[in-house]
Structure 1
C-alpha cells in the first residue's frame, strides 16, 4: 500500500487537531434536573469535553458531578450559579416551592470542591449564588486552554 503526500497531510492534520467539545455551554439557565442528568451521562459516557463559556446556572451545574472534572474547562466568560431545587410549577399552581429532597439530590452529585464553596457561601438558598470566573471557579475546574 502506498501513502500519497495528500493522505499523509490529512492524517497529520487530524492527529494534531484538538478535540471538539461535545457541549459548549454559553447561556444555560437550567431546567428539569432529570433531563440534565441524562444529557450529562451521555456526555460522560462518550468521553467528550465540556466548555463552560458563559452562564451555567441551576440544573446546568450538575455537569460538575456527572462529567469528570478533567473533561470540563471554563473560559474567562464562565459563570455558574447554584440555588435550592424547586418542584415543577405545574404541580404547585405556578408558585415556586422549594424541594428539600431535590436539593439533597443535587448536593449528592456535586464534588467536594463544589460542596465546600456552597457551604462557605451560606449553603443553598432560594437566591442564586454565583461564582464568576476566577480563583473560586478554578478551585473546582481548570481554565480552558487558550485555543478556546
Structure 2
C-alpha cells in the first residue's frame, strides 16, 4: 500500500513535469519509507511545481517541508502534518526505532518545524500533529 502511494506521487509528478504552474495536492498521505519519499520530493522540487497540503500528510510525507522550498508550499484548513521517529520493521513486524532515520528526518526539517517539535519532546514513537491555525501561521494559506 505504501509503495502505491509513493508510486502514485511519482506518476503524478511525471504527468506535470516541466509545468511549473501546476500544483501537486497532498490530501491523504499516510507516509511510508523515507527513501522513496525523499526521491519523489527531490523530483518534485526540480519541476518547480507548487505543493498544496490539503489533508493528512503523515510520517515520511512531512519530508516535503524540508525538500520543496517553503515559498512553493501552501496549506488549507484541512491540512494536517503528523511527525514521529523513524522506525524499521523488526521481527514479527514490530517497529524498531531507527536513530539514523530519525536523525535524517530531523536534519531535513526547517528550523521552525524543529523548534515546534522540540517543544513537544522531539521525534518520538508516538505521532504528534500540527494543524489548524498553528500550521497556518507557519505556512502560507492556499488561495
User: Shared topology, TM-score over 0.5?
Assistant: yes
Query: Segments of 4+ in structure 1 off by > 4 A?
Result: none
Contact 1:51/1:144 (<8 A) preserved: yes
TM-score normalised by L of structure 1: 0.80
Indicate the residue corresponding to 2:109 in structure 1.
110
Distance 2:140 2:91 in 1: 39
- Write the deviation string for residues 18-66 of structure 1: whole angstroms up to 9, x where unpaired: x330x21000010010000001001101110100000000000000000
Q: 1:123 offset after TM fit, Å?
A: 1.1
Aligned runs of 1:83-94 on 2, under 5 Å?
83-87=84-88, 89=89, 91-94=90-93
Indicate the residue corresponding to 2:22 in structure 1.
20
Contact 1:79/1:131 (<8 A) preserved: yes
Distance 1:103 1:68 in 2: 21
Aligned runs of 1:64-143 on 2, under 5 Å?
64-87=65-88, 89=89, 91-134=90-133, 136-143=134-141
Contact 1:53/1:78 (<8 A) preserved: yes
Structure 1 residues 133 and 144 mapped into 2: Cα distance closer, same or farther (>3 Å)? Answer: same
Contact 2:86/2:102 (<8 A) preserved: yes
- Structure ranking higher in strand proportion: 2
TM-score normalised by L of structure 2: 0.82
Indicate the residue corresponding to 2:9 in structure 1.
none
SS in 2 for 1:108: helix
Contact 1:61/1:81 (<8 A) preserved: yes
Indicate the residue corresponding to 1:60 in structure 2.
61
Structure 1 residues 105 and 92 mapped into 2: Cα distance closer, same or farther (>3 Å)? Answer: farther
Indicate the residue corresponding to 2:32 in structure 1.
31
Distance 2:97 2:140 in 1: 31
